[in-house]
Amino acid sequence: SEVKTINGRARAAEKSMGSINKMQDSIYKDLVIEKIASELKMKVSQLKNIQIQIKMSNVQRNSSPKKEKDYRRRPSLIRQAIKILIHYPNLGRTINLKKTFNFIDEKGIKIFDEILNFIQSRESIKSATIIEHFQDKKIRVHLKKMIAEPLLISEKEAKNELNEIITRLYEKDNKSEFRALVNKAKENELSQTERDRFLELSKSIKIK
C-alpha cells in the first residue's frame, strides 16, 4: 500500500498532522497523535517534528505566496538517495553500480557518487563521518539538515526504495547517453564502439 513507501508515508503523516494543527492543545489531541503514530508505525516525536515543519512552512507560504509551487515540488531522486544513505550508511554497501552516472547532469549527482564511493571504501561508517568527509562547508550544512529531517521508513524499506531509485537513475543516464549519441550521429561522428552502443540503447530506450 501507499503508506509503505517513503513518499506515501510522508504524505499520510503530513496530511494527518495538517489536520491536527487545526485542533487546540489538549489531552485528546495528544491521544490522536499517538493513534496516528501507531497506525503509521512511527514515533510520536517524528510526527511532532512534522507538525512543527508544517507550521513553519505555512508561515513561510503565507509570507511568500509566490514560492508555494517550490514548496510542493517533490524532492529529486538524487536527493532522496542521498538522504537514505545519510540515515542508513550501511545500505551503500548493498549497491553494486554497473557503471558511474556519466550522463546525468543534475544537482547532487557528484555528491551522491562521492558518498557512495566513500561508504564502500570503509569497513564501518557513521552518518557524522560522511558529513565530516566533505570540506565544502555548504555541503556539510546541507547534509546536516538532511540528517535532522525524519526518514519515515525502516532500513529494509529504505533498501527497496534505494534500489528503485538506482534503477530509475540508470534509465535517466541511458536516455541522456542515447541523446548524446544521436547528436553525434547527426554529424556522422560515431566511432565503431559508439555505433555498437547506439544500437544497443536504441533497442531498449523510448525517448519521450
Same domain, 56 and 118: no
pLDDT > 90 fraction of the chain, expressed in percent and rounded: 33
For residue range 131-148, list pLDDT tens digits in order: 999 999 999 999 999 999
Mean pLDDT of 19-35: 75
- 106 plus 16 within the same structural domain: no
Q: Are 176 and 102 in contact (CB under 8 A)?
A: no
User: Is the pLDDT reported for residue 58 higher than 50?
Assistant: yes
Considering its fold, how many domains does the chain have in total? 2
144 and 109 part of one domain: yes
| 183 and 87 in a common domain | yes
Domain boundary among 31, 46, 72: 72
**1 CB contacts (<8 Å, ≥6 apart)?**
8
Are residues 151 and 120 both part of a single domain?
yes
- At which of 55, 72, 89 does a domain end? 72
pLDDT digits (tens, 9 = 90+) for 92-103: 988 877 667 888
Query: Residue 84 has what pLDDT?
Result: 95
Residues 135 and 49 in one domain: no
Identify the pLDDT of residue 8.
64
Are residues 7 and 98 part of one domain? no
Same domain for 190 and 144: yes
> Do 27 and 105 lie in a common domain?
no
Specify whether 92 is located in the same domain as 55: no
**Domain membership of residue 148 as a residue range:** 77-204
Query: Which triple of cell numbers denotes residue 147?
Result: 540528517
Model's pTM, two decimal places?
Answer: 0.60
Could you tell me if 94 and 23 lie in one domain?
no
d(CA 27, CA 72): 32
Give the pLDDT confidence score for residue 145 in this predicted structure. 94
Cell of 15: 496530511
For position 113, which CATH number holds? Answer: 1.10.860.10
Of the three residues 72, 106, 121, the one that is the final residue of a domain is: 72
9 neighbors 3 (Cβ within 8 angstroms): yes
Distance CA 8, CA 78 (A): 18
Helix axes 77-87, 109-120, angle to 10 degrees: 30
**Closest Cα partner for 185 from 171, 197, 169, 168?**
197
Give the pLDDT mean for 165-189: 89
| Whether residue 180 sits in one domain with residue 152 | yes
Residues 6+ apart with CB under 8 A from 140: 131, 132, 134
